[in-house]
Amino acid sequence: AAQDYTVVRFTPDYRRFGMEETGLTPDTLAILHRRVFDLAATLKGVKISLNGQRITMDGLRDYAKRCTENGEEGGGVIYYDFPSERWEVAIGIRNRFDEEDGTSQDVVSFVNNCATTKGGKHVSHVWDRCLAILRPWVEKRIQRDVRPAQIKRRLFLFVNALIDNPTFDSQLKETLLTKPADFGSEYTVNARELIRWAERVKLDELIREDITETKRNTNSRRGASQLLFVNKLEDAALAGGKSSGECSLLLTEGDSAKALAVSGLQVIGRERFGVYPLRGKLKNVSDMDRRNALAVPEVASLMAILGLDPNADYNNPEARRRLRYGRVILLTDQDEDGSHIKGLVMNIFRCLWPSLLRSPFLTALETPLIKAQKGSTTVSFYSRREYEEWAERTDDMDRWKIKYYKGLGTSTAEEAREYFKDIESRLVHYVWKDGDDEELIEIAFDRNKSDERKRWIEGGSVRSGDNSTEETISSKRSLRYSNFVHGELRTFAIQDLKRSIPSVIDGLKPSQRKILHTCLKMGPNKQEKVAQLAARVAHSTSYHHGESSLVAAIINMAQDFVGACNIPLLRGIGQFGTRHAGGTDAASARYIYAALSPMARLLFPSADDSLLESVREEGVEAEPRWFCPILPLVLINGAEGIATGWSTTVRPRDPIRIVDTIRRRIENEKNQRSIELPYYSGFTGTIDRMDETRIWCEGRITVEETARGARRMEILQRLIIDELPVGMWTSNYKTKVLGPLVKEGGIRSIRESHTDENVRFELELSSEMTKKMEK
């Protein structure tokens, strides 16, 4: 008899999706066809058909072969590796012109059969493993240094991975965010086969040709540099030609700022203005050697766009004339993070092209941070301090409507055109006077200058520069680099400290304080989805950063497994993570709920609410400047934070001992119990002090011996591990500690009997490992 099966047929509601009644458009059909082929490549053993025609595809190997049959030498020749059921990798040769025409991607990846179209941590993991083999091989063959990017742009990578509890950037699941330590496995590259494939496709010769071609293009006549293809670059029409010196490149903070700049180009035109978006925070290149710094993708892109030569001295007018642009205009958010990005750009030029800082080259377009409106009157402010000083002088603040421009994406197209209408009057030109400017940028970013960086943040002497305060847009059209460092960059460092280091008074960071304030106002019985609660917090307290960080903070404040909070301030309803993955196995914010913990109001009595000083954000009262708990939460739950110049780690302590100590101090008793050692609720291992600065933490192991063999002569050991050191999560322990022992044959079997709260491994050791342990 035929097997039972299910057929699902449906017709999309085309009108609902804004499509013609006739059906799917060609581009939508192409996407659906692509997805069917994706399924055929990743679902082994499943018969896939399209429009009645069976798709015959031998997994990822055949998929990769079809994608790389490009007519070039090496095309269609695939390195294929299937080391385990969790990893399948293929690599092919990429057409030389794919990157230039911008029509081809260089990675196709899947996680648990979902197409991760923007890659993610799994792709980076495989790239790192493969490049660690290919890069030294290529360098040895062509006798020169090679950047990873020079190899990657010649390769087409295919990855099909099975990841434990994957975390994505959105519901579209385009980017995997799970850290490699939480994959549940790791990709082990077959180095011998990878080298054999590289020899077969002559990868070294292809890369040598690319490097030679790039060098030839760089050294060719200037007119050839007029045509340039860099992803997301909107190039100025005259860039690279005779009028290059008159061209300006707008470096924007992300794609939304680029959209604002493109709106502005309608006013100033595209002939002399180009736009390129930076991808978030740039890398600090201070601690890199020159080769690695030049290999940073953003730096490599800037080299191509600006026509920079790593060996040129741009004090030489002839070298300066070879640049594709005459100046750079930084267009970042007007807040402290935008100032940090400006500083990182300055640091790149200080490290790699310092001669460009000594001549007028870097500028910044200032845009409003805050606007106050009353009727037809609008007042713009370009720094938080400027606004706060105005607010103190203004008596009728309640009549003003305050709008905070966290990002440039907040500005409308009309506002963008207003910014660009008289662009030269809004530019701040950075000026290099002497060695003080270089020294101050170095102090701000060099890892070896930590002591001087602390003195700089504190406002004390750093041996150089003018320790001036933050300047407003109206104060100067030119600004020394040293004054920028002392002003905007120091403001960023101070704000970074405030938001990253918890307060000693209530043990909370600003984001946690905003969350607690919102939940206290909601009351003890109100529960809300974490995603919605994050939105509520952001709205009611004027939170100026991404809601994703609020989501993470809410989840952390509700976690109660070993190594999390001793006293959670929030109550989690749903899966908020376990000690097995350190909380990273929490469910999505749209599925779980949070509410105020019953302990919260005991720690923060409502009688204190009216006594607390509130912070004003955007003209309204937000959360208290700090709460005043009846017990020191900074000791009970501990504190961690890394900021500019400083970091902190306070291990949690036993709440019962803390209460007892406080009572004894109130009564002025001499015999007070020690609270020196850390305490983690539910931990059953051992914590002890090694010396004045170090603490020893260990789990718990029980050893059992069993006899085997015909004469019961083979003695085997059975280990029961029912506690791990705090911070050693179960999945990491299995992967990093037990995994290698299994591969080496030291462990014959593993049985896991974990619960939500407890750990239990039962290991049977081999006779060889038993003998080693006896010795």
Catalytic residue list: 591
Beta-carbon contacts of residue 245 (< 8 Å; ≥ 6 apart): 320, 321, 323, 326
Locate all alpha helices (DSSP H) within 459-597, ordered by sequence: 481-484, 490-500, 510-522, 530-541, 547-558
Residue 503 amino acid letter: S
Residue 9 CB-density burial (10 A; 0-12 exposed, 13-18 middle, 19+ buried)? exposed
Residue 20 amino acid letter: E
**Residue whose entry in the numeric block shows the structure tokens 């939500």:** 756
Q: What is the DSSP letter of 120?
A: B
Residue 674 Cα distances to 325, 618, 658, 670, angstroms: 66, 46, 9, 12
Contact (CB, 8 A) for 622 and 404 = no
Q: How far apart are CA 703 and CA 133, in angstroms?
A: 41
Q: How far apart are CA 399 and CA 731, in angstroms?
A: 56
Closest CA to 493 of 354, 344, 364, 363: 344
End-to-end CA distance of the chain: 64
**Two tokens, residue 335:** 């807040």
**Residue whose entry in the numeric block shows the structure tokens 């104060």:** 475
**Two tokens, residue 31:** 């996407």
Locate all alpha helices (DSSP H) within 143-278, ordered by sequence: 148-152, 191-200, 203-219, 254-268
CB atoms within 10 A of CB 642: 11
Contact (CB, 8 A) for 416 and 398 = no
Phi, psi of 678 (to 5 degrees): -60, 155
Q: How far apart are CA 235 and CA 21, in angstroms?
A: 40
CB atoms within 10 A of CB 244: 23
Residue 280 amino acid letter: G
**Two tokens, residue 359:** 């001549």
Which neighbouring-strand residues pair with 720? Answer: 702, 762
**Two tokens, residue 748:** 């014959």
Residue 628 Cα distances to 103, 128, 198, 507, angstroms: 58, 48, 64, 10
Q: How far apart are CA 742 and CA 760, in angstroms?
A: 17
**Two tokens, residue 759:** 């750990």
* 197-227 CB burial, b ≥16 within 10 A, e <16: bbeebebbebbbebbeeeeeeeeeeeeebbe
Secondary structure of residue 751 in the 3-state scheme: strand
Q: Which helix (H) or strand (E) is 278 found in, with range?
A: strand 273-278
Contact (CB, 8 A) for 78 and 66 = no
Closest CA to 480 of 465, 463, 490, 494: 465
Beta-carbon contacts of residue 494 (< 8 Å; ≥ 6 apart): 457
**Two tokens, residue 509:** 């960071």
Residue 608 amino acid letter: D
Residue 491, CB-side half-sphere exposure with 13 Å CA sphere: 21
